[in-house]
Structure 1
Amino acid sequence: MNYLVNCSLLFSERPLLERPAAAHAAGFDAVEFWWPWPHDPVPGDAEVDTFVRAVRDAGVQLVGLNFFAGDLAGPDCGVLSIPARAQQFRDNVDVAVGIGEQLGASAFNALYGNRVEDVPPELQDALARENLGLAADAAAGIGATVLVEAVSGPKPYPLRTADDAAEVVEAVRVAGHPNVGFLMDLFHLANNADDLDVAIAKHTDITAHVQIADWPGRGEPGSGQLDLDRHLADLTARGYDGWVGLEYVPTTDTETSLAGLRLTTERSDR
């Protein structure tokens, strides 16, 4: 397994643009981010250039980046399946892929939108598949993959289980977009009471990225009840050889939490 740091959750003690360098100082050569501008799908060129420079100057690779998904700390959990907001997603695609092209990103997480009362679910799902295909076509131009994940929490997000997300992945692939994969977030699946052993057995073949945190609490590995070493070993035995993103909320400061981890293989060398 090869580990990287999610700099949207870890190193939150520091300003966002200082986090890639902090990750490198902690021994990681790769990072991922949520969309850095949660209220702006199309930031100005100067803002984009500053972000790109911060990652590049830190000496780390940006492996994963979320497409614009709204304010994840607020009411949002994605916009691509919401008709009133889908244009924000479309406007963002070229910007996100452009950042990824500059920094070598290989994966873009496309979060589904919450269910909205004034739109039938089947219409939201059709819009989601259309926009995922659009994003996949753009990502294919730089050899990257678009990710679909199940998410937990109280928001009316429709993809709750590995099966839910896998069904969307397969539908978009069948429509002619093979570079769409499953983001298997073990915390979110556990938080939704999904069976991790079953999810891994059924869906490793379409898994393109993995994220981990312990459960309950979303703290660092070892702070909860999940046997993450066993689950990651199972993924490896079934053929997964991609990245594992550390996407947790430290129970102490980030450096202390990372120092206490016993990662079973390389941190980020690939």
Structure 2
Amino acid sequence: MPRFAANLSYLFQDEPFLDRFQAAAQQGFEAVEFQFPYDHSPAAVAAAARDSGLPVVLFNAPPGNWSEGERGLASLPDRRQDFRAAMARAFDYATACNCPRIHVVAGVGKPGMDRRAMRACYMDNLAWAAEQASAHGLILLIEPINRRDIPGFFLSDFDEAEAILTEINAPNLRLQFDFYHAQIIHGDIIRRLEKHLPWIGHIQIANPPGRHEPGVGEINYDFVFERLDALGYDGWVGCEYRPSADVEASLEWIRRYGVTKRAAKRSVTP
């Protein structure tokens, strides 16, 4: 059965961010992931993880100016230096939290921006970042995101993602496979999973159309998890969904897989 990580950007939102680590531990999760930890110091995030006994297995590189509509910097030709500074900041957090994976968010092009120039920038930035990350022992991930949720997002096709990974061919550059986005973009998600499995470095789940938990939506996650086991996937599965009710009620699905509530702290190797 997959190992589940709580996404703290989506779950336990009634708690302050640094308190969500302990909330995830009490609900029986074995790890956490999140999107952007940058409102808190690396030391504070690392302390919250350490106190909860849960490893941090993934977070996102800084997205740029979120309030101005930026959703990542990697593909933006006019933000190359900002991208490098953002990755250096992400490396600091990864080192402090002993987190092995960073999602390098592709970005949204500005009106009139040439897609060929964006792709060339994206390729250069990813190759550079992968080389820098290797010195830290880190894995970088790219993730196709559907354009219904983020209009204009540069990377919105899993075949293109695999082509980019193949062309760069860096051993520490992998695919982040989110079933929610794969279903919206392509459908036929099990064959899509099988096709891209050799490149997958992390998996996330949520259920379209509302991005809710397993059991509330169109994907049969019982079948998905059985297939993951059959394929030998032994990585983390991040629960990046919006609870359809309160968080605890939304976690009823996970109890069927042996994840039980507990209050004791415990340590897990990432």
- TM above 0.5, one fold? yes
The residue number in structure 1 matching 2:16 is 15
- Partner Cα distance (2:67, 2:218) in 1: 25
The residue number in structure 2 matching 1:85 is 79
The residue number in structure 1 matching 2:218 is 225
Tell me if structure 2 keeps the 8 A contact 1:204–1:235: no
Residue correspondence of structure 1 range 138-217 to structure 2 within 5 A: 138-152=132-146, 153-173=149-169, 177-217=170-210
Structure 1: segments with no counterpart, 5+ residues: 38-42
Structure 2: segments with no counterpart, 5+ residues: 261-266
- Summarize the Cα distance change of 1:223–1:72 in structure 2 as closer, same or farther, 3 Å threshold: farther
SS of corresponding position for 2:102: strand
Kindly provide the CA deviation profile for residues 222-269 of structure 1, in whole angstroms up to 9, marking residues without a partner as x: 111101222232233223211100000001121221244345366896
- Summarize the Cα distance change of 1:4–1:73 in structure 2 as closer, same or farther, 3 Å threshold: farther
- Partner Cα distance (1:257, 1:71) in 2: 32
Tell me if structure 1 keeps the 8 A contact 2:42–2:92: no
- Partner Cα distance (1:116, 1:28) in 2: 39
User: Offset at 1:95?
Assistant: 2.0
The residue number in structure 1 matching 2:97 is 103
Instruction: Name the TM-score, length of structure 2 as normaliser.
Output: 0.88
2:200 partner amino acid = T
Aligned residues: 260
Tell me if structure 2 keeps the 8 A contact 1:7–1:16: yes
2:44 partner amino acid = T
Kindly provide the CA deviation profile for residues 121-166 of structure 1, in whole angstroms up to 9, marking residues without a partner as x: 1111111111112221232223221111110124101322321221
Tell me if structure 2 keeps the 8 A contact 1:185–1:211: yes
- Partner Cα distance (1:28, 1:89) in 2: 32
Residue correspondence of structure 1 range 120-131 to structure 2 within 5 A: 120-131=114-125
Identity, % of aligned positions: 31
Kindly provide the CA deviation profile for residues 55-81 of structure 1, in whole angstroms up to 9, marking residues without a partner as x: 222221111011011366873321111
1:48 partner amino acid = P
The residue number in structure 1 matching 2:264 is none
Structure 1 moving runs of 4+ over 4 Å: 71-74, 265-270
Correspondence 1:55 to 2:23: no
Instruction: Name the TM-score, length of structure 1 as normaliser.
Output: 0.88
1:217 partner amino acid = G
The residue number in structure 2 matching 1:255 is 248
The residue number in structure 2 matching 1:66 is 60
Tell me if structure 1 keeps the 8 A contact 2:45–2:97: no
- Summarize the Cα distance change of 1:155–1:50 in structure 2 as closer, same or farther, 3 Å threshold: same
Task: Provide the alpha-carbon RMSD of the alignment.
Answer: 2.2
SS of corresponding position for 1:261: helix
- Partner Cα distance (1:260, 1:231) in 2: 14
SS of corresponding position for 1:85: helix
Kindly provide the CA deviation profile for residues 21-74 of structure 1, in whole angstroms up to 9, marking residues without a partner as x: 11111112311111223xxxxx7xx73322222222222111101101136687
